[in-house]
Amino acid sequence: MTGFAAVDVIIAKRDRRELTGEQIRWVIDAYTAGDVAEEQMSALLMAILLNGMTAAEIANWTTAMLHSGIRLDLTGVGRPTVDKHSTGGVGDKISLPLAPLVAACGAAVPQLSGRGLGHTGGTLDKMESIPGWRARLSPQEMTAQLAAVGAVICAASDDLAPADRKLYALRDVTGTVESIPMIAASIMSKKIAEGTESLVLDVKVGSGAFMKRAEHAAELARTMVELGAREGVRTTALLTDMSTPLGVAVGNAIEVAESVEVLAGGGPADVVELTLALAREMVALAGLDVDPADVLASGRAMDSWRAMVAAQGGDPDAPLPTPRFREIVVAQTTGVVSALDALAVGTAAWRLGAGRARREHDVQQAAGILCRAKPGDPIRVGQPLFELHTDTPELFQGALADLADAVTIASPGTVVRRSPLVMEIIRAV
């Protein structure tokens, strides 16, 4: 495709003109091939951030990124395919119990996942706490596992939406991550490319989420649902609360352990609630007449978990990593926990080694935080609020500073009313 110059595309968006489908396809292809300079794409991304995009532009941008690489064919797995994507949160281990649960309901779940960056954890980092487990599968291994087990959690192939990988790295260093059109196109190009027939989106809202305000989260959710519908992928989005960490565990190995508790019929009530809410939407989109709560209670989801872990070389019975050092933070006041700031907890866990500042950094599998008191819990002076885990004791100081104002304690007898965990459900019109 010829006849375009990068500077003309930049000027068009700078002057708030709508980019044509041809312009968008050209600039994505040329940038992926290295024919559009980084500084030129940086300027275009900033113009998009400041001036926005129309629905047609977002759709064309998504399609162009989708077609920059391969699109997986999952038609041979023998089950309806449905996936879930979360925009990321603190303690958000939901993919771990959810994928085997939905597989046990009769669907195939191709959960292509990523690694954590900053205060939000990555599913692959958590799974790599399991001895022997491997994240990298070929497309052939992935489809074979879906047919045999019904669930896979693995890294995306480098051939899947390569334009997005390059653009994401550039957005990260140019202050353009917050662009809703770019977020929507990034997520949906990868999810559509993986070949799933249906998709449920978990769009987080609150202090520990990327989207702090409900109206922005709803805009993102609607945009992604519309993109899925345009590409023939049945898509539903749930707006869910991320003002408080999910569950008790925030980290890697400790989140795996908590996920196994859920699969065994226990675990924190909020993790169970959200797992079942997402599972119900997924099985409905897949056309299955089954109640995930019954399947979870039956133990079949645990069987699927063990089979999924083993299929990727992991030992589901192996001990998980434990920290060399622990620190307990206790309450200085008696009363009722009225708030627990998810961002502060996520940042503290990151400082302890559970996350990374740059993509090339390693994480500590045993690092993290156990939240010993959640909103609504009565608390006494000296009672544990947090249990901090790390292999590097000098990291405690920074984490403790992050947690200094993380908990709000109201007077004894205060009734704490939390907002619903699932705030809104957005479906295709």
User: Any catalytic annotation for residue 164?
Assistant: yes
Answer whether residue 269 is part of any domain.
yes
Q: How many folded domains does the chain comprise?
A: 3
Answer whether residue 419 is part of any domain.
no
Determine the angle formed by the axes of helices 269-285 and 95-104, rounding to 10 degrees.
Answer: 40
Q: Which of 84, 166, 171, 204 is catalytic?
A: 171
User: Any catalytic annotation for residue 157?
Assistant: no
Answer whether residue 171 is part of any domain.
yes
Torsion of Cα atoms, 260 then 263 then 265 then 268, to 10°: 60
Could you tell me where the beta strands, DSSP code E, fall in 132-252?
151-155, 198-205, 234-241, 249-251
User: Any catalytic annotation for residue 125?
Assistant: no
C-alpha–C-alpha distance, residues 413 and 429, integer Å: 45
**Ordered per-residue pLDDT tens for the chain, 429 residues:** 456 899 999 999 999 999 999 999 999 999 999 999 999 999 999 999 999 999 999 999 999 999 999 999 999 999 999 999 999 899 999 999 999 999 999 999 999 988 776 666 789 999 999 999 999 999 899 999 999 999 999 998 888 899 998 998 898 889 898 899 999 999 999 999 999 999 999 999 999 998 899 999 999 999 999 999 999 999 999 999 999 999 999 999 999 999 999 999 999 999 999 999 999 999 999 999 999 999 999 999 999 999 999 999 999 999 999 999 999 999 999 999 999 999 999 999 999 999 876 666 788 999 999 999 999 999 999 999 999 999 999 999 999 999 999 999 999 999 999 889 999 999 988
Considering the entire predicted model, what is its pTM?
0.94
Q: Which of 92, 125, 164, 241 is catalytic?
A: 164
User: Any catalytic annotation for residue 190?
Assistant: yes
Q: Could you tell me if 87 and 52 are in contact, meaning their C-beta atoms sit under 8 angstroms apart?
A: no
Q: Which of 79, 166, 190, 351 is catalytic?
A: 190
Domain of 109 in residue numbering reads as: 75-318
CATH number at residue 383: 3.90.1170.30
Q: Could you tell me if 316 and 395 are in contact, meaning their C-beta atoms sit under 8 angstroms apart?
A: no
Q: Which of 79, 84, 85, 374 is catalytic?
A: 85
Answer whether residue 25 is part of any domain.
yes
Pairing of strands 368-371, 249-251: antiparallel
Statement to judge: residues 137 and 261 lie in one domain:
yes
User: Any catalytic annotation for residue 186?
Assistant: yes
Q: Could you tell me if 330 and 384 are in contact, meaning their C-beta atoms sit under 8 angstroms apart?
A: yes
